[in-house]
Chains A and B, each alone.
Chain A
Amino acid sequence: MTSASTHIPWLTLLIVLPLAGTLLCLVFRRMPAACRWLTLASTLAVLLIAIRLFWQGPTVGGWYGFEDAAWIERFGCRWTLAMDGISLLMVVLTGFLQVIVTIISWHQKKHAALFFSLLLLLESGILGVFLASDLVLFYLFWEMMLIPMFFLIGVWGHGPRVHAAVKFFLFTLTGSLLMLLAMLGLYLLHGQQTGDYTFALAALKQTQLGPWEPWLYAGFMLAFLVKLPVVPLHTWLPDAHTVAPTAGSLDLAGLLLKTGAFGILRFAFPLFPAAASASLPLLAVLALTGIYYAAWIAWRQNDIKRLIAYSSVSHLGVVLLGMAAGNVIALQGSILLMAGHGVTTGALFALVSMIRRRTGTRELDRLGGLWQETPILAAFFLFFSVASLGLPGLANFSGEILVFAGTFQHNPLWGALALPGVVFAAAYILRMVQGVLWGTRPPGRTWPDLSWRELLALVPLAVVTLWLGLYPDPFLQPLQEPVRLLVEGLMLAQGGMP
């Protein structure tokens, strides 16, 4: 299963390239222009490698790449990177969104070099999370995402930024430290059973867990559910979003939340299939609560950035519902919705910052009349808003419809309970659209419409939104094999036929 045909370690390159960019940005910290271009170059390089892997297609057994090297022999940790269809999709999403983030933050003035180096460090960590196939390596990258995000919120945020940054750090770290304990427990159990002390994901899947399984599963799930975030554990997210700079919000919503969902699919479900399948109803309850609670709160928001943050929680509730349904259609829908949500919500956050830069406010009751003032911006805003609420033909629809179809198949009651959530989404999104685009404009000078640089960021996002909505098949193809394996694992644990 070595990297097909060539011997270039593409997966390692994916992680190392942004890291090299980070260091170079710090070296050239007196030249902001050089840092900008360096960042653009590294993010583009990552995107190109991701597209190349996508283009090349899978090798044996649905794998897109596999790399393995010695790391810490003493603990049985190895530098193991593996890319299946799910990670491929997430890596492509990461590469794409980071390029957009770079373009949007092009005129970053405050400590530009530090800003770009942190962006690249963050990208490296996220890619590592999506690729790592060794538990300790995964944990390393998981924590590596924390530090740059903490600084992005804390240094470049506005308002109570330090409060939000610390809250973000503490919530995530609490979850991940418990995951670390669970990892150690799993490692020791496996070692005692087989004599092979290793953190390799593939080997640990074979462990006989016995009575420990629910506890270890809970340790992993807590870390992932905080990141996702699921409703009682979500309070860090709106705070972080409200104060974060645009780039931070984009990465947070587009990528960081996905790492939580990804972790569930890559680690929690395959490692603990029995506990996972037993917990599916609980997950469904959490998901349904999230969908409605977050929608309700979103409806009452006056700050549009906060509104979109809560809409994220609601959407991720749908993603979690798809996982709780646990069949092929629903899981594929979940993953597709993750990509769709990343693109549309990312675009909405970018638009919010553009609106704020022009009007100086994000308050719904002070905004209005953008449709006449800045028609192109308004059109994009409308486009991504309706994409977010799940209009057929646009990104979120294809994912959501698959999730709902799968959920009805698994348990019609859950489906019936979840479906009205779409109406709720329509309600708060339309309230936002109405408040921003129509009505009377706030007094003051006129605003310019979108600049070419802003268009450069928004047009690719719009194209991908349409693509995901109209023809998601190329993105669904790579998901077939890994999702089938996941579902088989869950079914076997339930004692049913795969």
Chain B
Amino acid sequence: MSGLELYALLPLLILVFGSTFVLMVGAWKPARRPLLLIGVLTAASAAIAAACWPAPLDEVAKMFSCGPYARFFTVLWSLAAGMTLLLSLRYGEDRRFPGGEYTSLVLFAAAGMCLLSSASSLIGIFLGLESFTLVLYILIAIDKNCALGTEAGLKYLVMGIVATGLLSFGIALIYTATGTFHLPEAMTALGTEAGMRPLGLLGWGMMLTAIGFKASLVPFHLWTPDVYQGAPAPVTALLSTGAKGSLLAALIVVMQGVPAPSMADLAPVLWVLAVLSMLVGSLCALRQTNIKRMLAYSSVVHMGYVLTALLAGGSAGFSAVVFYLVVYTVANFGAFGIITSFAIQGQEPQDYADLAGLGYHHPRRGAALAFFLLSLAGVPPAAGFIGKFGIFYAAIEAGYLGLALFGVLASILSIYYYLRPIIVLFMADERSACLHRGVIEEHGVLAFCLAATLMLGLYPGPLLDLAIAILPG
């Protein structure tokens, strides 16, 4: 590996070496707070490195691209890791997280997500995906005294192993059919080579199933609510945004290479997955009385929306996905961040009953939570509206009017389940006790998410242009 290639991988190296460094230091000096802060600094410097020094190469080892697209997501997931660590400062103290391991694992997960988003070969996808899911198994179950967390970790592990098996088998089949791992070529070859095409399509089907598990598309979504509920809230934030977002970012690169005839075969499958995710996710979310479970089902619905735009394709569709991922990440971090900041001694207020009347005890965070939920629901002036607008726009432009109509139906249903916590926050007859006041780091993260959600809702132009400009190919 040449020096130039190492330089191109600089942000990732910062994350990985930072992670190792924290792990080593943590073994001798297990002081939680300094270690977490070092982790935040590492994530921030990785983001800065990715944003400020463009890579001298397009691609490293024919596996990972270093173009602006990869760099964009490197910044996003590094920031997400930084926010996760900031949110864990007090929370991790209360739940006695092992500081060194926790920080190092979060940074390593971020590195995996960045790798996945910048993958330009099937092997890259596999490496990236596995490196962060392995880490997430541990992170979800990091509190060994919490039965729910351990259960969630195990659930994620079992589902994850199945998905890994399918993914590797699928990649092997595609390799057999096409003779290459490199993405655009593998996809193009799939369209032309008539003899091996069935094998390739079978591989595709397996890959899609694996992706369906990881991105929790219906009918592969069953693990989602339990894992969301059991995992510590900051980890859930990372899991719901980075883990799914990086996979979808990689999927854009895959889909761009798919030639028209193969697309015609794939489209009905994706169509059904999108519709099922939107409808089943919405219907399940309606009945939840636990905000983390509700957000889990809502994430299923959001993946349905994103799949809609992905299916629509073209620069309109793919840029809509990129924009939506940013908006969704920010709003989700805001929502889970607020749950974290309310937690006393690691006890998160999850049931709606715990949130009753909090809008008056804690007006700023109550209003912010309402705003994040409205953003997820896609009500203007929150950013979620522009995101959804872009998706419907792409869908109609590409001729998927039916999907757009299902999207509207899901949005109407979604209003109901997003309004329920808001109603509890502000309109409940009885009030629960005051919760934690939150600390400065938590408030900082929340303020950042709030400002981003509002700004992207009112003046989305720059990010929309950027999303178009960075699209590969």
Contact = CB atoms under 8 A, between A and B. Distances in A.
Contacts of A151: 426
A365 B389 CA distance: 51
Contact of B419 (A74, A111, A169): A169
Interface string A138-161: 011001101100110011000001
Contacts of B408: 177-178, 180-181
Interface string B346-360: 000000000000001
A143 B380 contact: yes
Contacts of B14: none
Given A154-B427, A188-B397, A177 B411 contact: yes
Interface stretch (B18-26, B157-165, B326-334, B458-466): B458-466
Given A74-B468, A165-B427, A184 B380 contact: no
A74 B465 contact: yes
A146 B464 CA distance: 26
Contact of A170 (B374, B392, B415): B415
Contacts of A139: 380
Contact of B360 (A75, A111, A170, A181): A111
State the main secondary structure of chain B at its contact with A. Answer: helix
A154 B412 contact: no
Interface in A166-197: 166, 169-170, 173-174, 177-178, 180-181, 184-185, 187-188
Interface string A245-258: 00000000000000
A497 interface: no
Interface in B400-441: 404-405, 408, 411-412, 415-416, 419, 423, 426-427
B219 interface: no
A447 interface: no
A247 B419 CA distance: 22
Contacts, number: 82
A74 B464 contact: yes
Contact of B381 (A29, A144, A178): A144
Nearest to B465: A74
Contacts of A188: 393, 396-397
B393 A75 contact: yes
B198 interface: no
B459 to A, nearest CB: 8
A136 interface: yes
Nearest to B460: A72
Interface residues of B, number: 31
A407 B307 CA distance: 51
A136 B389 contact: yes
Contacts of B404: 181, 184
A448 B427 CA distance: 33
A188 B415 CA distance: 27
Given A144-B380, A144-B381, A185-B396, A74 B461 contact: yes
B396 A170 contact: no
Interface residues of A, number: 36
A71 interface: yes
B392 A181 contact: yes
B389 A73 contact: no
Nearest to B360: A111
B379 A180 contact: no
Interface string A56-78: 00000000000000111111000
A162 interface: yes
A150 B415 CA distance: 12
Contacts of A177: 408, 411-412
A111 B366 CA distance: 14
Could you say which of B390, B423, B459, B464 has the most chain A C-beta atoms within 10 Å of its C-beta?
B423
Contact of A166 (B379, B389, B419): B419
A349 to B, nearest CB: 22
B363 interface: yes
Interface string A447-467: 000000000000000000000
A166 B286 CA distance: 14
Contacts of A136: 389
B385 interface: yes
B296 to A, nearest CB: 22
B465 A154 contact: no
Nearest to B429: A162
Contact of B392 (A71, A165, A180): A180
A147 to B, nearest CB: 7
Interface of B: 360, 363, 374, 379-381, 385-386, 389-390, 392-393, 396-397, 404-405, 408, 411-412, 415-416, 419, 423, 426-427, 459-461, 464-465, 468
25 contacts: A71-B459, A71-B461, A72-B461, A72-B464, A73-B461, A74-B461, A74-B464, A74-B465, A75-B393, A111-B360, A144-B380, A147-B374, A154-B423, A155-B427, A161-B427, A162-B427, A166-B423, A169-B415, A169-B419, A170-B416, A173-B411, A177-B411, A178-B408, A180-B389, A180-B392
Given A74-B460, A166-B416, 12 more contacts: A29-B363, A75-B389, A143-B380, A144-B380, A154-B423, A169-B415, A169-B419, A180-B392, A180-B408, A181-B408, A184-B389, A184-B404
Closest 3 CB pairs of A and B: A74-B464, A140-B380, A154-B427
